[in-house]
A and B are shown apart, each in its own frame.
Chain A
Amino acid sequence: MLQPLNIVLLILLFVTALTACFHRNLLVAVIMLSAFSLVMGAMWVMLRAPDLALAEVVAVGVITTTFFIASVFRTQRREE
């Protein structure tokens, strides 16, 4: 689809995914993963899948992110 909202969401997907994968501070990476799931939730709504939007935001954006934050707090904060 070439609508402007779709293109903006795709660019945001790239930005959040690249930051989540390549930032050295693990806490920042995890928060960007949560933002990635939020943008993906908006993308699911554009693809007319409301069940998937709910499931993605609550499963990846809340639950997986909280598991990650618990793990980051128990191990180490920076990547090296």
Chain B
Amino acid sequence: MRKILAILFVSALAALLIYTVALLPPMGDSDNPTNQHIAPRYLERGPEEAGTGNIVAGVLLNYRGYDTMAEVAVLSAALAGVFAVLGRGKKRIGTTFIDGSGVEFSVVSRIAVILLVSFIMLLSIQVILQGTNMPGGGFQGGAAIGAGVMISTLALGFGRTQHRVPYSLRAILESTGILAFFVVGTIGVVSGANFLTYTLPGVSAQAQAIVRAAMLIIVEIGIGVMVGAVATSVFFALLRDKEADDVERAA
């Protein structure tokens, strides 16, 4: 009975939504209202005002830079929530059910993953650094770094991988994202303009383009490293057995 009611309700909702959506102007039309007001300005003046070849990265870091800073803050808040629920794991080597399961890690997968992870890390560094001129950026490269660490955990064992990325290193890397934003933004305030304008005090106008490109890359690297560290930390927290120094919750 509940199921029939739910199906009816969801069908009514779907019919209402589809009817509303069919009334929108046709997709891809060049005189849609969405393509009229601010989008042509971003597309024409984006590369010179924001300083990037990739206009989406320019919108993210320059026109809507405050939104990206808040997104990094949301990522930190989610990490704090996961640590509050599952524990931080400050012990040097944790244990997990992968290591103790009695299944041996095969030689083939170990060697393949070692090779693969080297190329994955190289590719993610390239994606982060070229994020201002080619599709990519800080978040994509950082998530690829996290993915590389995850695949090496699944094939090489939890103890070996956690030895390479211990809690002390992750704690430093997780703060670089928001720190990069604050440092670059405060330099903008010190040089007389608004927060997060990419300028340096006392630099000639020709060198401002180079300064802006350097600051954009600093911010991208900060975001990328932070996202990689957050993904790794959450993965370790979800996988790890409960440790003795985790916060005890009343049952």
A residues contacting B by CB (< 8 A) are: 1, 49-51, 53-55, 58-59, 62-63, 66-67, 70-71, 73-74
Contacts and interface: CB of A to CB of B under 8 A. Distances in A.
B54 interface: yes
B136 A70 contact: no
Nearest to A58: B143
A63 B135 contact: no
B239 interface: yes
B135 A51 contact: yes
The secondary-structure label for the interface of chain B is helix
Contacts of B143: 55, 58-59, 62-63
Nearest 3 A/B pairs, CB to CB: A50-B135, A54-B140, A70-B238
A54 B135 contact: yes
Contact of A70 (B27, B56, B235): B235
Interface residues of B, number: 23
B38 to A, nearest CB: 18
Interface in B225-240: 231, 234-235, 238-239
Interface stretch (B17-25, B144-152, B160-168): B144-152
9 contacts: A50-B135, A51-B54, A51-B136, A54-B135, A55-B139, A58-B144, A63-B150, A70-B238, A73-B97
A43 B15 CA distance: 24
Given A1-B28, A55-B140, A66 B235 contact: yes
Nearest to B154: A66
B127 interface: yes
A51 B140 contact: yes
A50 B143 CA distance: 16
Residue from A51, A62, A74 with most neighbouring chain B CB atoms (10 Å): A51
